Structure 1
Amino acid sequence: MQELKYLVGYPENVTSQVRQLISNDKLGETLLKKYPLAHTVRTDKALYSYAVDIKNTSLKQSQPLSKVIYDDKIKDLHHALGLHTFISRVQGGKHKAKNEIRVASLFKQVPLEFLRMIVVHELAHLKEKEHNKAFYQLCQHMEPCYHRFELDMRLYLTHMDLMGKLY
């Protein structure tokens, strides 16, 4: 039986449906029907603007973002699709804080819904550091379809592992 590393923890009824799609060579076709186009947010500048727009709409009271970039160094996708960092320094008697978001470069060419899910996830860490109930409630507040997009993004990563990129 094929290991579905991006779907660990999902119920058997979901993973069996995914295995069926894979065995019938229909996973890519199914994803392309739902998400026919890749987004156009390709530069770090465009990604920063995109993330700030979501933040300003959904997390008005949170700290500002210092940097939002695509990162070629994020390789271990099983553990991280994006990273958030909070850097706190005392410089010249002043306390400076920076919030940075790094998104794996492979997300330059995916549907906008997948990019949005990653950005929302990383923005939620501005308020909630742990992956707990409050964190996922905040993700759903910012993106009501968060869980569906996360599952579909995991299906896309599974497809990439097995058959390569779709976009």
Structure 2
Amino acid sequence: MAGQGKDNMKYLGGYSQDLQDKARLLAERGQLAEVLRGRYPAGHLIRTDKALYDYVVDLKNLYIRNGAPINKVAFDSKIQVMAHALGLHTTISRVQGMKLKAKREIRIATIFREAPEQFLKMIAVHELAHLKEKEHDKAFYNLCERMEPNYHQYEFDLRLYLTHLDQPGCGALWGAGPR
């Protein structure tokens, strides 16, 4: 592990040194892909923005019934995952006549179009939780866990996947690209 900078574990910075060391060892041995494919053998089938919208709205209706409506959900190729964004939620307010109208959008990085459904759900749950909780605090993560009890495990594994993608010569595991 000497000679390996901490930068190759940039997605795991908030985790214990022990977990980072284990992930680093798996990466050095080229075993991250094997571990991830063992846990998540297949990608999801949600490929269009319409299917993604329906998926996210179904989750919202199941867990946040009285939350504000979502106007748009889309995969977004402009989201820079490598800059630590997996998805985005925005609210745009506009004056229409005498009323103030808010439009809410959720965008998910295109890289997750060909990922396991668990990763997509984790990101969707995260962005939906922002409809009720703005800050990443205890209430926010409690809501995430209520919507997806395995939220933290999926987030960790998603970060392992991003670490895998950062390795030279490694590509997508569940869709198009090198295997």
TM-score (norm 2): 0.90
Alignment partner, residue 106 of structure 2 = 101
RMSD: 1.0
Q: Does 1:137 align with 2:162?
A: no
Q: Distance in 2 between matches of 1:22 and 1:77?
A: 17
* Partner SS, residue 65 of structure 1: coil
For 1:161, give the aligned amino acid: D
Alignment partner, residue 91 of structure 1 = 96
Q: Distance in 1 between matches of 2:82 and 2:121?
A: 17
Q: Could you tell me which of 30, 39, 54 is aligned with 2:44?
A: 39
Cα deviation for residue 25 of structure 1 reads: 1.4
Cα deviation for residue 152 of structure 1 reads: 0.2
- Do the aligned residues in 2 keep the contact of 1:35 with 1:111 (CA within 8 Å)? yes
Q: Distance in 1 between matches of 2:28 and 2:108?
A: 31
Percent identity between the aligned chains?
55
Q: Distance in 1 between matches of 2:83 and 2:17?
A: 20
Q: Which ranges of structure 2 fall in alignment gaps of 5 or more residues?
A: 175-179
Cα deviation for residue 78 of structure 1 reads: 3.2
Q: Could you tell me which of 98, 101, 124 is aligned with 1:119?
A: 124
TM-score (norm 1): 0.97
Q: Does 1:165 align with 2:169?
A: no
Q: Distance in 2 between matches of 1:39 and 1:120?
A: 16
For residues 115-148 of structure 1, give each alpha carbon's deviation from its aligned partner in whole angstroms, at most 9, with x where no partner exists: 0000000000000111111111110011000000
How many equivalent residue pairs?
167
- Do the aligned residues in 2 keep the contact of 1:89 with 1:95 (CA within 8 Å)? yes
Alignment partner, residue 177 of structure 2 = none
Cα deviation for residue 24 of structure 1 reads: 1.8
